[in-house]
Amino acid sequence: MTGRLVIAGLGPGADGLITPDVTAALAQATDVVGYIPYVARVADRPGLTLHASDNRVELNRAAHALDMAANGQNVVVVSSGDPGVFAMASAVFEAVETGPDRWRDVGIEVLPGITAMLAAAARIGAPLGHDFCAINLSDNLKPWALIEKRLRLAAEADFAMAFYNPRSKSRPEGFDRALAVLREACGDDRPVIFARAVSTPDEQIRVVPLTRAAPEMADMRTVVLLGSSTTRIVPMTTGDRVYTPRSVPA
């Protein structure tokens, strides 16, 4: 008997930002699988088993979920934000591609969530209002040389950018290097938005010019948004807003 596997995004933190489809999937689940702090966001109840694991075992977590679904259980794999943005959806499909044939019989559904970059952008205005890209600054799964290349090319293309995993305790120097590359490649004082723990009681949002951005302004709960050369700050009595115009001068 084959069960069901749902890969769900829990959004950035606030319960109100979890979609109704994800809430319904969690209500039907027999098992919830995910990184420890994300599983902790799911309320326990009779008939539900919570399987929390470390963040460095994504493929093992995916295999565990697929095994349970192949055995007839109704499994939900949870990620924060959107499961397809630097999260568990790709890990599950990578496991399916390289795993046993029986995993290909499992019905898999991906339910989107509100990403940290979109939640942060909405809080401050519309800094991603024109062309933008998202870059994961962690070098755990790709070399630093590739990160630097993508930073330079994105700056050359004048994208607004969203940065995930900017600065961890194990590699605090990485974000400092990224900022140095961006200062050189951009050559201006476009705004940088540091958005920490968006939509939670710990939320902190700070906007500084690129030349004043410092590594200690970010941690792993922070998403960093960098404007393009056209991004503007609008002074308002209710708090300044940042936006990127939808039109680009010829």
Grouping H, G, I as helix, E, B as strand and the rest as coil, residue 10 is coil
**Tens of pLDDT along 79-107?**
999 999 999 999 999 999 999 999 999 99
Give the pLDDT of residue 1. 64
Distance CA 172, CA 166 (A): 9
**Tens of pLDDT along 146-160?**
999 999 999 999 999
Tell me whether the CATH fold assigned to 4-114 matches the one assigned to 117-243: no
Question: Per-residue DSSP letters for 42-65?
Answer: SPP-TT-EEEEE-TT-HHHHHHHH
Distance CA 211, CA 19 (A): 38
Distance CA 68, CA 224 (A): 37
For the chain, the domains span: 4-114, 117-243
| CATH classification code of 117-243 | 3.30.950.10
Query: Is the per-residue pLDDT at 57 higher than 70?
Result: yes
The residues with which 243 forms a beta bridge, in sequence order, are 126, 232
Residue count (the chain): 250
Residue 6 in tokens: 């749902």
Query: Which residue intervals of 84-224 are DSSP H helices?
Result: 88-98, 116-124, 144-156, 173-186
For 4-114, which CATH superfamily applies? Tetrapyrrole methylase, N-terminal domain (3.40.1010.10)
Q: What is the mean pLDDT of the chain?
A: 94
pLDDT classification of 216: cutoffs 50, 70, 90: very high
User: In the predicted model, what is the mean pLDDT of residues 115-142?
Assistant: 95
Grouping H, G, I as helix, E, B as strand and the rest as coil, residue 176 is helix
190, HSE (Cβ side, Cα atoms, 13 Å): 23
